[in-house]
Amino acid sequence: MDAIVLHGGASNREELKIKVQKFAEEAINAGSALDAVIHAVRLMEDDPLFNAGTGSNMRIDGSIQMDAAVMVPGDFGGVINIEKVRNPVLVARDVMLRSPHMLLAGDGAVQFARKMGYEEHDPTTERAIEKRERVIKKLKNGEIPEYYHPEFLKEFLCDTVGAVAYINGEFAAAVSTGGTSLTLRGRVGDSPIPGAGIYAGEQGAVVATGIGEEIIRRMLSLKVYEEIGKAPLEEICKRHVAEFGTVPVGVIAISNEERCAVSNLNMPYGIAKR
């Protein structure tokens, strides 16, 4: 059965679930598995309520640097710290399909985007400005607790958006993120790191969201993928999420027969089948 699973970030923003479900129902009809996940992520990048594309967070210095990646069995493309583009996921797709590389970063990623015809776009929103101002105020007042303090992270969480799909016998995954205001310029999270924030192979596809540093340390998406078929998919995901304790994390995964979305927060997600 063809299916797609979307998530809008491990952000406790339950009000986004209806919107994400609507996006899932639209994206499943976009074409191939790769087309579907890219369409789904693009919809969320264009919606300022999500932390990706337009709506991305400003970093401490006021810049907006975004990461995105796409993956299919045997191939991968990603952009790291790209700036001033509307849809980083489309640039990531072109890195995979239209370049000899797998990852492009910073100015090089921007230059590549321009060569591919992507116009300059300012993703700044009032919400991003206000969020950064709150971070700066807390820094000046000495109110920033330990970085991994769970309650604090829920306020300044580095969300991603993502999708996994199984369509016409093919798997694909895509992710995009605007990072978090509580980071230095140049910081890279889990989203564009194969095996950490994203993985797709012949057995399925997995995407993670949450605290990028912890997801990278555990290579969460690869670990979930490697266990596909050894136990029920939801059981696998729940066990790996539980290992994070109170550190916010979520994962979506799909195989040829199963699909699931698991998080230790109220992660908005949508599932569509046909």
Q: 104-146 pLDDT, tens per residue?
A: 999 999 999 999 999 999 999 988 898 888 878 877 776 665 4
CA neighbor of 228 nearest in space, from 193, 257, 198, 249: 257
Q: Which CATH superfamily is domain 3-273 in?
A: (Glycosyl)asparaginase (3.60.20.30)
Q: Is 160 one of the annotated active-site residues of the chain?
A: yes
CA distance 156 to 71: 28
The mean pLDDT of 241-256, rounded to a whole number, is 94
- Classify strands 259-263 and 249-254 as parallel, antiparallel or unpaired: antiparallel
Indicate whether 157 pLDDT > 70. no
CB 92 within 8 A of CB 78: yes
What pLDDT is attached to residue 12? 54
What pLDDT is attached to residue 148? 46
CA distance 186 to 62: 12
Among 54, 124, 125, 160, which one carries the catalytic annotation?
160
- Across 8-18, b (16+ Cβ under 10 Å) vs e yields bbbbebeebbe
CB 176 within 8 A of CB 123: no
Indicate whether 261 pLDDT > 70. yes
pTM (whole model) above 0.85: yes
| DSSP assigned state of 48 | T
* Arithmetic mean of pLDDT over the chain: 91
pLDDT 10s digits, 41-66: 999 999 998 999 998 988 888 899 99
- Cβ-proximal residues to 100 (8 Å cutoff; 6+ apart), any chain: none
Q: Minimum mean pLDDT among 98-107, 150-159, 221-230, 249-258: which range?
A: 150-159
